[in-house]
Structure 1
Amino acid sequence: MAHPARLLSAFALSGLLLVADLAPALAGEDQPAKQAFGAVQLPTAGPATPYGFYSKGCMSGAVALPTDGPNWQAMRLSRNRRWGNPAMISLLEQLSRDAPKVGWPGLLVGDIAQPRGGPMVNGHASHQLGLDADVWLTPMPAKRLSVQQREDKPFVSMLQKDKFLTIDEKAWTPAHARLLMLAASYPQVERIFVNPAIKKKLCDSWTGDRAVMGKIRPLYGHDAHFHIRISCPAGAAGCKPQAPVAAGDGCDKSLAWWFTKEPWEPKKPATPTKPAPPPRPMMVSDLPKACAAILDQPAVVDEAHATYGGVAAYVDPGPVPVSATAKDLAPKAGAAPVPEDDVPLPAAR
């Protein structure tokens, strides 16, 4: 009998090979990048290479996170956004193996990237190189979710609904803190984005080693999931790195700014001006030159690669050294089991 993970993977991607040849021919034709990359259903073959910056680029040779692993389940399969650089897929698998050690049963993994990266029609400004991934702040359930359940399962915010940027103590647990600090402890992780209230909660309550606390960065919109960003892989000359995180734990004035009115209130011009014209959409020609060629490359046609994410295409590096100690991250007795970015402005309070 076929393994359940293989059946689910095959079901989730059964239509991809049938539509691989339906992506529009883009040679010599410039068009909005969101639509161009969103129309491609499968990755290219060949080496995994990111081109450009996290919020303005693309990738070749992506592999897919399998729909199921021992300690993870991929969510929202219909989006076709579980493709990434092998370094990111390996990191997610490592985090899923280590998470139970800190009292977190497993990961629900959200968006990583499109098959060839690039801008998305909705949802993200970054996630374009296969080096970003979203992990839900909901622990993986003991049972395997069906495809439909993975589409319908609601997000659970860590914030109170009736108080501005205030943690919901009924939703938040010490295990959430241990998972975030574990994710930040891997050396290849550049940043972890969380809601400012979550960052403040960590600043106020974490009693272990704070050496990697500075990697955890406040950013609106990340109250039901956290966003992992890893560094450009070694030798990826076309990948543009971001500025290093500032020294310190980030529990300072830079965090306090997020709780002021300034991020919310639009700046008033000194003199009345005409309404600004709508922004020009990002075109394929605005991306690194390699991206147009990547769009035109033939899709990988190996069904095993498409379904199982090319597991044989990369070598698992094994345990990754962490800077936090086991004592720092271990569950306490009686604990509950369980930049250069475009900063999104929040909706009205």
Structure 2
Amino acid sequence: MRVFLFTVVFAAALSHAVPATAQDKGTVDPKPLPPLANPDDPKTPAKDLFARKPTPANLQARAIGFYSRGCLAGGVALPVNGKNWQVMRLSRNRNWGHPDLIAFLERLADKAPKVGWNGLLVGDIAQARGGPMLTGHASHQIGLDADIWLMPMPNRELTRLEREEMSSTNVVREDKLDVDPKIWTPAHVGIIKAAAEDPLVERVLVNAAIKKALCRDANGDRSWLHKVRPWYWHNYHFHVRIGCPKDSPTCKPQPPTGEGDGCGAELAYWFQPKILRPPEPPADRPRKHMTMGDLPAECRQVLVAQ
């Protein structure tokens, strides 16, 4: 049942979103998007509207709607440099989140060296006002999701060019059935465990091969494993999702994950030949893009706020 619930929640993403992979390059010279000809047309994709809002809405912080159908008020930026983190792909301007998520990332960065992980390379969080994105991600819309590269931070500040063009590390074996033993380390286990053990975290999404390795390598307390969920693509980064904050009454939570470690039949499901690779939508099926009418009514206020 848990596999079914998890798959239903995310299945829509496969039909209308292209995954934003950790190794996709950015640019050191991003250009402003041109004005929209008819921004008030109700058929205008919401992603075109939210992508043109580079600053947060000056409103009380709250996550609005569902992770894959909502927006963010009062977003806070994760500083591009911290004691134990650096933000990647600055040209995307996706280092915004709910204050609870930003505080979590700072906590996790503090824990990283203690588990053998030098520091965090942080990928996409959310746009300044959340909402759908022009590229990648069906989720990351309400400031409660963050991607963390499966490569520790180097012992120096990265250049802007490196932040835009360097790739993360693929830790999954070529046949997708397990991790690459030449790359996978106990520190990978340590940083994912540290994320999952945080009380605010509801889910950590990883490639099924990574979940398999965690099930095999976890020692002692295994209660954190139930939060770690297999999902397509996550072989260069892991995706952390926190629960709905107390200040966000219209945030819609996901079904609970349950208490099992997810290392039995639930994990085996992901290694069936027909499941191992993500399905491709039919080439002749047009992509459906969300409009403002598909989002919570509060998102209109977020979009027009100063």
Q: Normalised by the shorter chain, which TM-score bucket?
A: 0.7 to 0.9
TM-score (norm 2): 0.84
1:123 is displaced (CA, Å) by: 1.5
Runs of 4+ in 1 over 4 A off after TM superposition: 12-16, 19-30, 264-267, 274-277
Map residues 172-191 of structure 1 onto 2, 5 A cutoff: 172-191=184-203
Cα displacement (A) at 1:236? 1.2
2:95 corresponds to which residue? 82
Letter in 1 for 2:298: A
Q: Cα offset for 1:198? A: 0.4
Q: Is the 8 A contact 1:54 1:131 kept in 2?
A: yes
**Ranges in structure 1 where 5+ consecutive residues have no aligned partner:** 1-11, 268-273, 299-349
2:56 aligned partner: 43
| Cα 1:275/1:110, change in 2 over 3 Å | closer
* CA deviation map 1:153-178 (0-9, x unaligned): 112100123x2332111110001001
SS of match in other structure, 1:263: helix
Please give the residue correspondences for 1:262-341 in structure 2 after superposition, counting only pairs within 5 Å: 262-263=274-275, 277-298=285-306
Query: Matches of residues 227-246 of structure 1 in structure 2 within 5 Å?
Result: 227-246=239-258
Displacement of 1:208 in angstroms is: 2.2
C-alpha distance in structure 1 between counterparts of 2:55 and 2:285, whole Å: 35
What's 2:67 paired with? Answer: 54
In structure 2, the CA distance between the partners of 1:211 and 1:24, relative to structure 1 (3 Å rule), is farther
2:229 maps to 217
Q: 1:129 to 1:297 in 2, by over 3 A?
A: same
SS at match of 1:182: helix
Q: 1:142 to 1:133 in 2, by over 3 A?
A: same
Q: TM-score, normalised by structure 1?
A: 0.74
Number of positions where the alignment pairs a residue of Structure 1 with one of Structure 2: 278
Distance 1:264 1:216, change over 3 A: closer
Q: Deviations over 1:196-221 (max 9, x none)?
A: 00000011121121011100011111
Pick from 212, 227, 247 the counterpart of residue 200 of structure 1.
212
Contact 1:34/1:121, CA 8 A, preserved across alignment: yes
Q: How many Å separate the matches in 1 of 2:69 and 2:191?
A: 29
Question: Against the structure 1 CA distance between its residues 265 and 204, is the aligned structure 2 distance closer, same or farther, given a 3 Å change threshold?
Answer: closer
User: Relative to structure 1, is the Cα distance of residues 265 and 160 closer, same or farther in structure 2, using a 3 angstrom cutoff?
Assistant: closer
Alignment match, 2:130: 117
Paired residues of 2:28 and 2:161 also in contact (CA < 8 A): no
Deviation at 1:252, TM superposition (A): 1.3
- CA 291–276 in structure 1, closer or farther in 2 if over 3 Å, else same: same
Verify the 8 A CA contact 1:20 1:40 in the aligned structure 2: no
Aligned Cα RMSD in Å? Answer: 2.6
* Contact 2:224-2:261 at 8 Å conserved across structures: yes
CA contact (8 A) 2:65 2:295 kept: yes
